[in-house]
Structure 1
């Protein structure tokens, strides 16, 4: 389609202020982005932050300040994958983000973990990135070329995500890796940390622990299903399942920004002995993750 030159110039002139606004930096200081999905996960971290200054951009509230002696920008990603990707990119566009640290709760998929434990996985998979296959006699037949070699969960067949860190070299990825230096720092600074054991009148049967390593999984699904929990652990090696971390990890990867996520188990993603324990242990898990993140931020160079 051809565009009349005058009209094209007019459009360019009208769009220029929007482009400038989109690229506007709200703060120039190098900061660690500390991110949580929703308010209960952020409350303890924001309360511990001093010298706070608020900004609003792209529908998101950002708070700059000092946490454990380090310059930070705090924000809520919003729940689920699209929100997390959108707000993380907005933060990277508006602030000088040196690294991204996520703090929040998750469902546990590893039978060796208990509610209250905090995990910092080395890799994050998008465990609900699937092709839904056609049902045929004897099973399901996925469309050729759309799926990976990983085992399916009924009609659901895992597929890779195509990303373009370099536009000339698109790549298919089944997972995204936390920054090795941040993982190493986590092992040095937070393993063995004492964590909260009781919430109101409910106490955990074992003292919670901090575990660094392994894999995590994310998707736009609140998992409370024992069969999928077992599948995610066996297929992806997922120790925890949440709704944001892998999306943030993907955005961090594309932007070449170091990333790590700490997730405390609020429930067992369907492996709970009776009903899901999320409502009971949400606050305890969020506080445990915040405790670990504060110690981690304090140890940052």
Structure 2
């Protein structure tokens, strides 16, 4: 099995890159694709850059050029569920493009992708369950030794929750509590908001490729969303990403 791994920000995959035994680097479409062994498994790793188009471009290349069998998309997100705090982990079982609205077209509802007839992309339940198990294993066994106590204290992280639910994607960095409330009213079981996951899900759906999307909550997607955002990724989320991916791919057949 060849696993494709994507992060939208360089810091999100920096530790994965360091952990990888890279045998080849190919530059395609202004992105570097690293091929090699990651925690003993064949993998291709890429920093996609931000937004739905960038993510779709990267995942299409992973599928069409590198012929990956599974796609992992990881990174941070803004929390939509008020019960979630910084450091909590969301595994996507459903993904929706919250900025897609062609409802003025006959027979097309809000969030539906025109001509595809799909508004919600559903992840494979087996992979989702394994993702949640992997995240809980990391939190229970490795987080405390992997992330400095100083960083955990700074971001008020004790024992992160791991939840499964809906992830909404759109080409907006949302820092508006009223927008979050509006989206939670329209999208059932919405856990977090980000900028790439549902685009990755659509491409994988159209190609018949399995995928998993997991996100670490970095903020509440409100007016304070940008505060310490880069620092959180550097000190905390990048470690979560590496640890969860390591556990997840170790259990993939």
Common topology (TM > 0.5): yes
Question: Is 2:53 the counterpart of 1:92?
Answer: no
Q: Aligned to 1:252, which of 177, 196, 204?
A: 204
1 or 2, which has the higher helix percentage?
2
Q: Aligned to 2:240, which of 257, 274, 288?
A: 288
Give the corresponding residue for 1:3.
none
Unaligned runs of 5+ in 2: none
Distance 2:152 2:58 in 1: 36
Distance 1:124 1:130 in 2: 15
Question: Is 2:34 the counterpart of 1:63?
Answer: yes
Q: Aligned to 1:130, which of 69, 86, 101?
A: 101
The 3-state SS of whatever aligns with 2:68 is: strand
Q: For this pair of structures, how many residues does the alignment match?
A: 245
Give the corresponding residue for 1:183.
128
The 3-state SS of whatever aligns with 1:161 is: coil
Give the corresponding residue for 1:152.
none
Distance 2:65 2:22 in 1: 19
Q: Aligned to 2:77, which of 85, 93, 106?
A: 106
TM-score, normalization by structure 2: 0.88
Q: Aligned to 1:223, which of 160, 164, 174?
A: 174
The 3-state SS of whatever aligns with 1:145 is: coil
TM-aligned CA deviation for residue 278 of structure 1 = 1.9
TM-aligned CA deviation for residue 280 of structure 1 = 3.8
Pair member with larger Rg: 1
How well do the aligned residues superpose, as a CA RMSD in angstroms? 2.3
Unaligned runs of 5+ in 1: 1-29, 132-141, 149-157, 163-169
Question: Does the 8 A contact of 1:199 with 1:280 survive in 2?
Answer: no
Distance 2:177 2:9 in 1: 25
Residue range with higher mean Cα deviation, 200-209 or 72-81:
200-209
Give the corresponding residue for 1:145.
106
Distance 2:228 2:201 in 1: 27
Give the corresponding residue for 1:174.
119
Q: Aligned to 2:213, which of 241, 261, 273?
A: 261
Q: Aligned to 1:233, which of 184, 196, 200?
A: 184
TM-score, normalization by structure 1: 0.74
Runs of 4+ in 1 over 6 A off after TM superposition: none
Distance 2:35 2:193 in 1: 29
Question: Does the 8 A contact of 1:183 with 1:212 survive in 2?
Answer: no
